[in-house]
């Protein structure tokens, strides 16, 4: 389970519609279906054709952004975005799809929106992620703790400890009850 922060939210109307429809819809901005891309370089080629006057560094950064959206955001990952001073968080519940809405192509992920009332000011460490123009994985435990109410790395550690205790108990019972 990965937490992704999307610093640039979709346009207001599209985001409000996404919240109602339980999905995340982003404008395609001239790009085709991201699942058709075989590499970051292919996306960079599409972007270079769409924006011939853009600096190569910006094309590379945008290609990385769209590659992550199309190929690294996965089922059960969480997406966090900023909407009118509030952080909105949701869990990806399905696979990416590309569809046209009102004659406008969109990149769409099914999302179960978890919380909509986290004030931006409650997570001051998020400023680092806001300065990034592209989607970015949130790895800072302090940010994750403020957003989710618990630190995911501790939760994973507890699950691992529980598994080992269960395995040890099972092996002990097998040894004790093994027919002699």
Q: In Å, what is the CA distance from 73 to each residue of 3, 30, 153?
A: 9, 20, 19
Rounded-to-integer distance, Cα 7 and Cα 50, Å: 22
Its pTM stands at 0.73
Q: Where are the domains of the chain?
A: 3-138, 150-180
Q: Is the pLDDT of residue 41 over 90?
A: yes
- In the chain, % of residues over pLDDT 90: 19
Rounded-to-integer distance, Cα 55 and Cα 68, Å: 20
Mean pLDDT computed over 63-75: 89
Q: Is the pLDDT of residue 163 over 50?
A: yes
pLDDT class for 20, splitting at 50, 70, 90?
Answer: confident
């Amino acid at each position: 389970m990965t937490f992704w922060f999307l610093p640039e939210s979709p346009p207001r109307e599209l985001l409000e519609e996404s919240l109602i429809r339980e999905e995340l819809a982003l404008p395609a901005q001239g790009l085709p279906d991201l699942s058709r891309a075989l590499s970051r370089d292919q996306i960079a080629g599409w972007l270079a054709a769409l924006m011939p006057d853009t600096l190569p560094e910006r094309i590379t950064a945008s290609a990385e952004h769209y590659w992550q959206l199309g190929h690294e955001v996965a089922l059960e990952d969480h997406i966090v975005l900023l909407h009118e001073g509030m952080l909105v968080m949701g869990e990806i519940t399905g696979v990416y799809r590309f569809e046209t809405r009102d004659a406008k192509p969109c990149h769409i992920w099914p999302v179960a929106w978890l919380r909509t009332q986290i004030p931006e000011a409650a997570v001051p460490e998020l400023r680092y992620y806001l300065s990034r123009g592209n989607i970015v994985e949130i790895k800072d435990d302090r940010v994750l703790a403020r957003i989710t109410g618990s630190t995911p790395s501790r939760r994973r550690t507890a699950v691992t400890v529980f598994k080992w205790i269960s395995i040890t108990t099972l092996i002990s019972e097998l040894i004790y009850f093994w027919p002699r």
